[in-house]
Amino acid sequence: MAAAAAVSEPWPELEQAERQRRRELLLTGPALEERVRAAGGRLPPRLFTLSLLHYLEVSGCGSLREPGPGLAQGLPQLQSLVLRRNALGPGLSPQLGPLPALRVLDLSGNALEALPPGQGLGPAEPPGLPQLQSLNLSGNRLRELPADLARCAPRLQTLNLTGNRLDAFPAELFRPGALPLLSELAAADNCLRELSPDIVHLASLKTLDLSNNQLSEVPAELADCPRLKDINLRGNKLKDRRLEKMVGSCQTKSILEYLRGGGRGCGRGKGKAEPEKEESRRKKRERRKREGGEGEEDEADEARRLLLRVLHVSENPAPLTVTVGPEVRDVRPYIVGAVVRGMDLQAGNALRRFLASQTKLHEDLCDKRTAATIATHELRAVRGPLLYTARPPQDLKIVPLGRKEVKAKDLVRQLQLEAEEHRKQRKRQTVSGLHRYLHLLDGKEQYPCLLDADGDVISFPPITNSEKTKIKKTTSDLFLEVTSATSLQICKDTMDALILKMAEINKYASENKEEDAVSDSETDATPAQPAGPEGKPGAEQGGPAPLLVEQVRVVDEEGRLKVVYPSKTDLGLPAALVTVLR
């Protein structure tokens, strides 16, 4: 019966993708729920005949229990597979791999309990996911990780295990050379009871989040991870009371120095490390630094001179506020905003570098805009308060960058026609520019948008901004927004990274002033000079003036606070790179 029903259910998205020879496909929405249920909780076999697909997302489908057979054989070119917020579990039957080209795998927000051989990610010999770089298993029910994970995905760089039921890491994960490229490991909100000293073998580890677990000790060997820059151990009941206080208030550097000295409850509970052991560790660290390159510390010292000053809402006579309407709840519910004053985009190629940095963030951290989308605006053209809402495509009007006013429905159609024309002209299946993100709107009955006090749409994520608030070389004060359909945290992480990049560009511009003519017609505008902590330009005599970051509140329709950025916990990741004056 299920098979018969599956045959009778139409899948117009698949027909369109096949006809257009598409490389990206997103399936979501109420109609998907009904069709997957009719197919017995699986995806239709026809999906696995779209052999040109590079990106596939199926999300928010509570009736999807397993992908179905044929995925590995039918999608050999797949590079990104996003199966979040479904009902996959307790295992994966059949296993996902081998997928030789897959780089990003997101299985977050499902009901996975275990990933044993044959019901997991793929074979270990030969590796089933040889090119996988990012794996997200957060928000499941996993009690253990597959022992062969490192052999299945030997090039893994980011592993997110947050919000599961893990009580230990498999020993194979930390064996020498197992995951030589792993730089981020997140396992917050689990039941971890111990951390093996062998974690020192993760030679590329930069970020480690083990907050809210059941750790009682932290091995001193953790301090010997040669590239570790950021650790989070909050929410654990550590035996060493001093260390427990330090993880809640001190920077990573201080914590690592304490561990390096042996602490008073680190590792196997010994007191201070023996001098011979400490000397051995010191030599190992120096050797690893030499092997990893001599220039890293010099670059870090240079970056530490970046300055940011935060202006709190209570100190701001006219703070900007964003009200979130209930319409975005099922479309793109998360938004974070900030105002940044004091950018100098006139010097040299600063504007081009700023735009290029956004493009890179969209490609990497934002995962080609599937995780989050950035929008930047000329603050002088933004009239608050702002409203973040969603409207039917035929009712949403915008003046897109470089275009005339158009309805969102017609804009999407125009972009689709342009994409098809580009494919024909270039005789290629890939497209560039905005055309790459059209699939993110597939199946959406309403489109998200940000409106100003005049009722004008200034942002249409994840596609485009408005010409009304376009930034120019003369722009010095900006309103920034980051939106996501995934999580609030990815919005904050992206905003952190964007503001850090802005500080770097501003510092570079101040040190490399060039007498270039301003290309915009608005030559009368002058970059604002933010006041320092004492009301004087610049935080230090003769040093570069800090960028001023003004808090922006996001509230619901009743005026209740949803989020304020930057809060005390934001702009914390680059603590070793930037001085934040709060």
Q: What is the pLDDT of residue 482?
A: 96
Confidence band, pLDDT 50/70/90 cuts, at residue 528: very low
Q: What is the pLDDT of residue 526?
A: 36
**Measured distance CA(580)–CA(307) in Å, rounded:** 6
Q: Is 430 exposed, middle or buried (0-12, 13-18, 19+ CB in 10 A)?
A: middle
Contact 50, 22 (CB under 8 A): yes
**Measured distance CA(129)–CA(154) in Å, rounded:** 8
Asked if residue 468 has pLDDT above 60, the reply is yes
On the CB side of 46, CA atoms within 13 Å amount to 16
Task: Give the percent of the chain with pLDDT over 90.
Answer: 36
Alpha helices for 438-549 (secondary structure H): 488-511
- Nearest-10 Cα torsion for 278, 280, 284, 287: 120
Q: Is 164 exposed, middle or buried (0-12, 13-18, 19+ CB in 10 A)?
A: buried
Asked if residue 564 has pLDDT above 90, the reply is yes
Mean pLDDT over 74-101 rounds to 87
Mean pLDDT of the chain: 81
Asked if residue 293 has pLDDT above 70, the reply is no
In three-state secondary structure terms, 134 is strand
Asked if residue 73 has pLDDT above 60, the reply is yes
Asked if residue 383 has pLDDT above 60, the reply is yes
Q: What is the pLDDT of residue 272?
A: 41
Asked if residue 378 has pLDDT above 90, the reply is yes
Q: How far is CA 103 from CA 115, 249, 327, 461, 568, in A?
A: 19, 36, 33, 25, 34
DSSP symbol at 342: -
Mean pLDDT over 433-453 rounds to 77
In three-state secondary structure terms, 369 is coil
**Measured distance CA(321)–CA(323) in Å, rounded:** 7
Asked if residue 536 has pLDDT above 80, the reply is no
Contact 78, 54 (CB under 8 A): yes
Contact 209, 195 (CB under 8 A): no
Instruction: Specify which residues 580 forms β-bridges with.
Output: 308
**Measured distance CA(164)–CA(562) in Å, rounded:** 25
Alpha helices for 216-373 (secondary structure H): 241-249, 252-260, 275-292, 295-303, 350-363
* Number of neighbours of residue 349 by Cβ within 10 angstroms: 16
**Measured distance CA(564)–CA(554) in Å, rounded:** 6
Of 390, 372, 285, nearest to 334 by C-alpha is 372
Residue carrying structure tokens 């996501």: 484
307-360, pLDDT tens digit by residue? Answer: 888 989 888 888 999 999 999 988 899 999 999 999 999 887 889 999 999 998
Q: Is 537 exposed, middle or buried (0-12, 13-18, 19+ CB in 10 A)?
A: exposed
497-511, pLDDT tens digit by residue? Answer: 999 899 888 888 777
Q: What is the pLDDT of residue 136?
A: 93
Asked if residue 443 has pLDDT above 80, the reply is no
Confidence band, pLDDT 50/70/90 cuts, at residue 424: low
| E-only strand ranges, 446-498 | 447-451, 457-460, 464-465, 477-484
Angle between helices 252-260 and 241-249 (to 10 degrees): 160
Q: What is the pLDDT of residue 326?
A: 93
CB proximity list for 100: less than 8 A, separation 6 or greater: 76, 130, 131
**Measured distance CA(92)–CA(115) in Å, rounded:** 7
Alpha helices for 304-392 (secondary structure H): 350-363
Q: How far is CA 81 from CA 72, 85, 367, in A?
A: 11, 13, 11
Q: What is the pLDDT of residue 460?
A: 93
124-172, pLDDT tens digit by residue? Answer: 888 889 999 999 999 999 999 998 999 999 999 999 999 999 999 999 9
Phi, psi of 107 (to 5 degrees): -115, 25
